[in-house]
Amino acid sequence: MTPSVPHNLISPPVLLAPLAGITDLPFRTLVSRFGAGRVVSEMIASGEFLTARPGTREKAELGAGIANTSVQLAGRTPDAMAEAARMVEGMGARVIDINMGCPAKKVVGGYSGSALLRDLDHACRLIDAVVGAVTVPVTLKTRLGWDDASHNAADLAQRAEAGGIAMIVIHGRTRCQFYKGRADWAAIRRIKDAVSIPVIANGDIIDTASARTALAQSGADGVMVGRGAQGRPWVLAQIAADIYGTARPAIPKGHALVDMVAGHYEAMLDFYGPDLGLRVARKHLGWYMDVAQTDAILRKAILTAKTPAAVLSALPDALVTDVRQAA
């Protein structure tokens, strides 16, 4: 049976959620630098991973062995999930996470992600296959249920715990909600009461206030932050400091913010190459400018820049208030 998750794997118990196309290695590295109990890789489809579709294998290889990183797998067949888990463990992964919560039509249509909430027997076959294939802890991320008529996450959690799952993350929505409405943190308490393994609350947790409320309503052992970290890679460390008394992060402002964003930008260029990196980075730059309240003209100039040099030269004007005011 897979070993329990050691306390230091979720200390502080503030985790970065896996977000496709967002929580790549450069962003996870930046969030970890500020302070996060655990970061989770972008979801890796086990079938694509095993057939080595270009770019998929690299996602797992780059960052798999970093100490506070979980590598997340999704799939629909036990054999493929088990083999992918063995390969990821061989690459150095310290924790493997199983995705049974992604609501995307492409994933659900492939009988993966949250589609597994409609067939708990099959979900448990996948869990058994992964747990039996590796020696590292295996965790699970899922939702409350498929829809409001089938909140069965507590049943899945109990069966998952019996199968060796070491920790479970619950997004407080059903699959059919996607990301609409509000996460139901209180509904997570039923899952927490059903198991003895750590339960982490996820969904709409963006700052200390929402984290405190989510913990109070759910009784969870920790929180997972997703979209709240966009443009604010320090927010996990800020929540951890406020709630768990960890070291308070130095939130960059002014030219320190420019240096941080420039460093993140250059890391993305190195990771993806200059052409793809220029395009992938735009969403992150947009989120940074949202936080900095950059005016529309400067924002457009950066997001339409054709070269990295043009982006880097425009960052001080876009992100530093006194520079904008002086102009």
Catalytic residues: 102
Angstrom distances, CA of residue 169 to CA of 16, 56, 140, 202, 203: 11, 24, 6, 7, 10
Rounded to an integer, what distance in angstroms lies between the CA atom of residue 70 and that of residue 2?
A: 15
Q: 209 near 180, Cβ under 8 Å?
A: no
Among 6, 74, 17, smallest CA distance to 41 is for: 17
Nearest to 281 by CA among 253, 256, 315, 255: 315
Q: How far apart are CA 83 and CA 135, in angstroms?
A: 13
Long-range contacts at 261-264 (CB < 8 A, ≥ 24 apart):
261/285, 261/288, 261/315, 261/319, 262/312, 262/315, 263/30, 264/26, 264/27, 264/30, 264/233
